[in-house]
Amino acid sequence: MKSLDQKLGLFSALPVVLLLGLAFLAPLVVVALFSIMPTKVFSLANMPDFSAYAVFFQQGYYKSLLWSLGMALASTAILLVVCWPLAYAMAKIFKRFTLVLTIAIVMSLFVSENIRLFGWVLTLMKGGLIEGHFRALTGIGFDSPLYGVPIIVFGLVYVYLPFMLFPLAQGIAMVPDDTRQAAYDLGASRWQVLWQIEIPLAAPGIVVGSLLSFVLAAGALAESKILGGQAVIAIADDIETAFTFGQNWPLGSALSMILILIIGTLALLGVSRVDLDAIMGRKR
């Protein structure tokens, strides 16, 4: 019976597997093949050449990668700290209000990311909504916080907050109230309950939320362009430039493959430590 169920499961999954193969794996294979082509060619009918990977180090593209990974790591850490209290309240305190808050956060995703970021530009720019009104009221102006690394990290935190919040709330909801209460009855402090019970039991939600936020932030482009004014060049910007203005598909493909390999490795390591059955509520 179990063997029959497995066969039916594999047969049912076949359309999805084919779709992923055509829509996801096939483009990746093409990008991987282009990454080992000679510089500035537009055909795969060439001898393999790894010069594009050498350019990654020779021309300092690794600096863009390090900036992207660093800002992604910083934004993920900030998101974890910021979202934990809100996720805890959504999972354990708010009850019916949780639905209202969830709808409000999801509604923000209906507006284009670029439009929301340009809204922050109008708000924070010199003479904008904040500085302009403050100067009109007090006669004192101040420099705009735009066009720097901190504002880029802020943009990443702002845009990707839902991708940390909802998995984190799901992870916290998995922590049994009886376990927490038993720890208090045995004399545990609030910090001991947090570090020894809540965080370990909510680890699946923490890992999933961190992975989603980090992966999306590492490949982000709009934040560095719109809010940062390209004060820092992100790796996604270098990839776009190589494919478009530079007309160097092998270089763009090589940069893409390096980013994919790093992000993919981190994602696989994280997912391997997550109990997906527990998250989906299938564990008995």
Domain 53-279, CATH class in plain words:
mainly alpha
Contact 266, 211 (CB under 8 A): yes
Dihedral sign computed on CA atoms, order 181, 187, 191, 195: negative
Contact 205, 169 (CB under 8 A): yes
Task: Look up residue 229 and give its DSSP letter.
Answer: T
Type of residue found at 34: F
pTM: 0.84
Give the pLDDT of the chain (284 residues) as one tens digit per residue.
556 666 676 777 777 778 877 777 888 888 888 888 888 777 777 778 888 888 888 888 889 999 999 999 999 999 999 999 999 888 888 877 888 888 888 888 888 888 999 988 888 888 778 878 778 778 777 787 888 899 999 999 999 999 999 999 988 888 888 888 888 877 878 888 888 888 888 888 888 899 999 999 998 888 888 888 878 888 999 999 998 888 888 899 999 999 999 988 888 887 776 665 555 555 54
Cα dihedral: 40, 42, 44, 46 (round 10): -50
What residue spans define the domains of the chain? Answer: 53-279
Give the integer Cα–Cα distance in Å for 142 and 151. Answer: 16
Q: From residue 51, give the alpha-carbon distance in Å to each of 47, 69, 255.
A: 12, 24, 12
